[in-house]
Structure 1
Amino acid sequence: MVLYNIKNSKELASYINYTNLNNMIAENEMREFLEKAKELNFNSVVISPTFVELAKEILDGTDIKIGSVVGFPLGFEDTASKAATASSLIEKGADEIEMVLNFSWLKDEKYELLENELKQIRQAVGDKILKVNIETKALEDYEKANAAKLAENCGADYIKTATGFLSPNHIYENVNDINIFQKHAPKIKIEINGGINDYKTANQILTAGADKIGSDFGYEIVNRYKDLRENTQVTPKPITLTKKD
């Protein structure tokens, strides 16, 4: 398998959505997290609604998008609440909204309810990015396919594989999910989340066809890559291009 051709740490960071949804975090810790995100210029940060305005302040002047969550982590809130939360987050400065699909409705195949909810939230988000998060670890393949088709048909920009609430998928499970999404919802973008804590795994996920990676370990992944590829200087031994007599 030919691995994804990452040219430098800046490009690597552009594929990562640096995540911190720790509900026990204090503001000073979030400030530190956001400064680390700013240092490496990730594609986005994914944070709780509590800190969206703080992120808007700290990340002002950067290209880093601000992502936040609706219905996290189980998706059980009623549709009106989800739509109102999404609208409020956009007003506060969020660029990306990640909504968790109602797990029970998906399991019970209540597709009309899911479609109605998705359409309302798509409207609330407007021209900002909408991601639909499903717990693929707890779903059958046909349920993943139906969720992805619904998300695509309702105008979502991304399908995302996990909230981090369950144990992370194995690499082969992630590849299987990517294959399902590409087959049944070929127009929607794919974000793989959870269990990606080193460059090797990140590279494998991108090679398999993911568009973005969600990770709590984004800072560590990019810094380790920098140490390996950019901060290591090797002076080549002088050689001649002709055979010595």
Structure 2
Amino acid sequence: MVYNIKNSKQLASLINYTNLNNILTESEMREFLGKAKELNFHSVIVSPTYVTLAKEELKDTDIKVGSVVGFPLGFEDTPSKVAEAKALLDKDVDELEVVLNLSYLKDEKYGLLEDEVKQIKEVVGDKILKIIIETKALEDYQIANAAKVAEKAGADYVKTSTGFVSPNHIFENVNIINIIQKHAPKIKIEIFGGINEYKFANQILTAGSDIIGSDQGYEIVKAYKELRENTQVKPQPITLTKKD
């Protein structure tokens, strides 16, 4: 069984095209946004530095603009994360991705974690809130508890990695998806990290991820488009009568 992708437009709508390079120039960001506009991804995820530019460049599209809070380590205190979230909302960001405090999680301070996510969700309102849980650094039971906290506190998504340390095998990702679906069945899942070609993207979607994040989104969709939509196959003539 594979995820039934009908065309490149549908594939792009399932990808959050990501560029969080911290040494990116404005001209390079404009080039990235141009690629996003060409293929009409679900969203772009950019640093707070480039949210305003992204909103301006993509204003005539359906592409959402997302950015990050507490990135990439998540160890800022709650007031700092809330302030970051408010600053992004002032820039009219559509999606916020907040890195979970792993110190709290390792110490099983679930009340503190839940309170932090709730405070951020109150600020975010009806905008999309994703909680990044850095699964590669966690045991299975910690992934389960983190997902439960995120769901209970009102987050919309659990995202599985910052991209710095990512599960790099389909079976690791399937295990993570299964854990989240079992222990936090109402929350959506975004798999991020290491997805750099269509076959892997399709496997992730087939396994149950609601959406995928990738800094190779453009390459994935272009390769798919070349294969499925630009390949011309000349049919051979068929005769229905038996040759003598």
* Alpha-carbon distance between aligned partners in 2 of 1:92 and 1:241, rounded to the nearest angstrom: 66
- Spell out, residue by residue over 1:41-75, the C-alpha distance to the aligned partner (whole angstroms, 9 max, x if none): 00000110000000000001101000100000010
Does the 8 A contact of 1:178 with 1:210 survive in 2? yes
* Alpha-carbon distance between aligned partners in 1 of 2:70 and 2:19, rounded to the nearest angstrom: 16
* Alpha-carbon distance between aligned partners in 2 of 1:97 and 1:243, rounded to the nearest angstrom: 66
Q: Are 1:36 and 2:35 an aligned pair?
A: yes
1:112 corresponding residue in structure 2: 111
Q: Are 1:6 and 2:5 an aligned pair?
A: yes
Q: Are 1:49 and 2:48 an aligned pair?
A: yes
C-alpha displacement at 1:87, in angstroms? 1.6
Does the 8 A contact of 1:169 with 1:195 survive in 2? yes
Unaligned runs of 5+ in 1: none
- Spell out, residue by residue over 1:89-140, the C-alpha distance to the aligned partner (whole angstroms, 9 max, x if none): 1220210000000011111111111011000000111100000001100100
Structure 2 counterparts to residues 45-194 of structure 1, below 5 A: 45-194=44-193
Amino acid at match of 1:240: T
Which of 147-156 and 163-172 deviates more?
163-172
Does the 8 A contact of 2:167 with 2:173 survive in 1? no
C-alpha displacement at 1:198, in angstroms? 0.3
Amino acid at match of 1:64: I
1:233 corresponding residue in structure 2: 232
**Secondary structure of 1:68 counterpart:** strand
* Alpha-carbon distance between aligned partners in 2 of 1:83 and 1:232, rounded to the nearest angstrom: 49
Amino acid at match of 1:67: G
C-alpha displacement at 1:187, in angstroms? 0.5
Deviation beyond 3 Å, 4+ runs, structure 1: 241-245
Which of 65-74 and 87-96 deviates more?
87-96
* Alpha-carbon distance between aligned partners in 2 of 1:18 and 1:242, rounded to the nearest angstrom: 53
Does the 8 A contact of 1:10 with 1:40 survive in 2? yes
* Alpha-carbon distance between aligned partners in 1 of 2:162 and 2:8, rounded to the nearest angstrom: 26
What TM-score, normalized by structure 2, do the two folds share? 0.98
Give percent identity, aligned residues only. Answer: 75
Q: Alignment length, in residue pairs?
A: 244
* Alpha-carbon distance between aligned partners in 2 of 1:93 and 1:173, rounded to the nearest angstrom: 35
**Secondary structure of 1:18 counterpart:** strand
**Secondary structure of 2:6 counterpart:** coil
C-alpha displacement at 1:169, in angstroms? 3.0
- Spell out, residue by residue over 1:9-52, the C-alpha distance to the aligned partner (whole angstroms, 9 max, x if none): 00000110000000011111001000100000000001100000
Does the 8 A contact of 1:136 with 1:162 survive in 2? yes
Distance change in 2, residues 1:125/1:242 (3 Å): farther
C-alpha displacement at 1:81, in angstroms? 1.1
* Alpha-carbon distance between aligned partners in 2 of 1:167 and 1:11, rounded to the nearest angstrom: 25
